[in-house]
Amino acid sequence: VNWEMLDKSRFFVLGAALFSGVSAALYPAVVVKTHLQVAPPPQAAAATVRAILGRDGLRGFYRGFGASLAGTVPARALYMAALEATKSSVGSAAVRFGVSEPAASAVASAAAGVSAAVAAQVVWTPVDVISQRLMVQTSAACRYAGGADAFRKILAADGVRGLYRGFGLSIITYAPSNAVWWASYAMAQRFAWRVVGADRSESYPALMAVQGASAAVAGGAAALVTMPLDTVKTRLQVMETDAAVARPTLGSTMRGLLKEGGWAACYRGLGPRWGSMSLSAATMVTTYELLKRLSAKEGSLG
């Protein structure tokens, strides 16, 4: 089901609803990952879960979710539009230039991943800054009353620049990650179909299983490759600005992290992030393919 075959209105409305549900299910893992990346003394994931549960109860795992959800709809809309439009145009152009279909698919997927990541970060970076600050605050030390309050305070303290702290690093992290993810996902699918048998591709359960497994593998690999950059980005975005202290920079954040625990500190929260990204990838892709089928124009599927 390609971009031209979709009913765009249905695609964006259904997409917002489906992806909001997926985000809600996976949000607690993101909260745990963020706590592990920001906390100075190294902690085990299980200990962090117990601490959040004991301090704030179940609601502690959903701090900042409202702000995150508010950004999900426009960010996903930008992501999906850029992804499909780029994949369709680059894939067609590559085939016209004589590139083989498998290679054209991988190139188109990689280009689409980069394009989608850049487009989505325009919305996701401010959302990340706000939601991550809400995630790590506690009931005892509550600086922000909610997403709107955090938005106003960050804007008053640092201006628009404060909301886009880590934007460049986000692009550096997610653009290559998306390129690798979509390219490896396309290759993993081709390998999986060779194992399962291409004749079973018409079976919807087999299609979902192959796509889900391929996405999980690609998501786990992307998490491992981009973990150090994600840890630095998260720290940079969560740090509060103090008038008496110099504004945190990429270099100072990286040096502080290495001083704290060496290169191992860059991989704090890898377990929850690996699990979250693998599950997210598998769920998102199967949901995405279902979404495209549900959004196909009448008669376009034959």
Task: Write out pLDDT tens, residues 206-232.
Answer: 888 888 889 888 888 788 888 888 898
pLDDT score, position 288: 75
pLDDT score, position 53: 92
Q: Is the pLDDT of residue 301 over 70?
A: no
Q: Is the pLDDT of residue 134 over 90?
A: yes
Could you tell me how far CA 221 lies from the centroid of its own chain?
14
Among 3.20.20.70, 1.50.40.10, 1.20.1370.20, 1.25.40.10, name the CATH number for the domain at 3-295.
1.50.40.10
- Roughly how many angstroms between the first and final C-alpha of the chain, as a whole number? 11
Task: Write out pLDDT tens, residues 251-280.
Answer: 888 888 888 888 888 888 888 888 888 888
Residues 31 and 134 sit within 8 Å (Cβ to Cβ) = no
- Give the percent of the chain with pLDDT over 90: 17
Task: Write out pLDDT tens, residues 67-108.
Answer: 998 887 788 778 878 888 888 888 888 888 888 887 888 788
Question: Could you tell me the pLDDT band of residue 32, with boundaries at 50, 70 and 90?
Answer: very high
Question: What residue ranges do the domains of the chain occupy?
Answer: 3-295
Q: Is the pLDDT of residue 295 over 70?
A: yes
